[in-house]
Structure formats: structure tokens, C-alpha cells
Amino acid sequence: MIFGICASPVRLPRSPRYVDKIRLHLAGQLHSDYTDNLGKGFDGMWLKAAGVTHDKMVEVVKNCITDGEVCDWIRQNVKRPPPKKPPIATRC
């Protein structure tokens, strides 16, 4: 999984599970309970937040050997959420 090295810094915590499901789907091993909703539901919310299409993510995962390569692509290509402002008390 890429959670520790990628998802947290990019603030898109759904990406590791989604990448795992894509890898299983490409290998023909994704359980049928998940195939109809791949790229939808929480995955779809992640895609929308990231500004990436499901087809693009499948292409990226298909062409990357390691999770680190997927992580690098995510860091370079996804939309990042706006930085959160610190609480007022710490801004003074």
C-alpha cells in the first residue's frame, strides 16, 4: 500500500485502497462485489477531489510497476486541497 508514503502528504487518503482495487481488477482478481462500483462511490469522490478520471488512474496503475511510481504520479498530477488556515489563536 502507498498510504504512508503518498496518501497522507497529498491528503487523499482513499488512494491506497483504490490503487489496490485497480491492481486486483487488472489481474482479474477483484471480487465481483467490487467490480461494478470500481471508480464510483468513495473511489469516485476521490477521483473528483483529485481531478483525475477513472480511466486515467487505471492507465497510470497499469503502467507503473511499484506503488512508489503511482505515488510519484499522484504527487505530480492530482489537485491538492487548499491548505487549511491555522486556528486564529495561532495566527497572532
DSSP codes of every residue in the chain:
--IIIIIHHHT-TTHHHHHHHHHHHHTT-S-HHHHTTTTSHHHHHHHHHHT--HHHHHHHHHH-SSHHHHHHHHHHHSPPPPPPPPPHHHH-
Instruction: Report if residue 17 sits inside a domain.
Output: no
Instruction: Report if residue 5 sits inside a domain.
Output: no
Instruction: Report if residue 51 sits inside a domain.
Output: yes
State the residue range of the domain holding 66: 22-78
- Distance from the first to the final alpha carbon of the chain: 40
| Domain count across the chain | 1
Instruction: Report if residue 1 sits inside a domain.
Output: no
pLDDT value, residue 3? 44
Instruction: Report if residue 9 sits inside a domain.
Output: no
Categorize the per-residue pLDDT at 16 as very low, low, confident or very high, splitting at 50, 70 and 90. confident
Instruction: Report if residue 16 sits inside a domain.
Output: no
Instruction: Report if residue 2 sits inside a domain.
Output: no
How far is residue 74 CA from its own chain's centroid? Answer: 7
Categorize the per-residue pLDDT at 5 as very low, low, confident or very high, splitting at 50, 70 and 90. very low
Q: Report percent pLDDT > 90 for the chain.
A: 40
pLDDT value, residue 90? 61
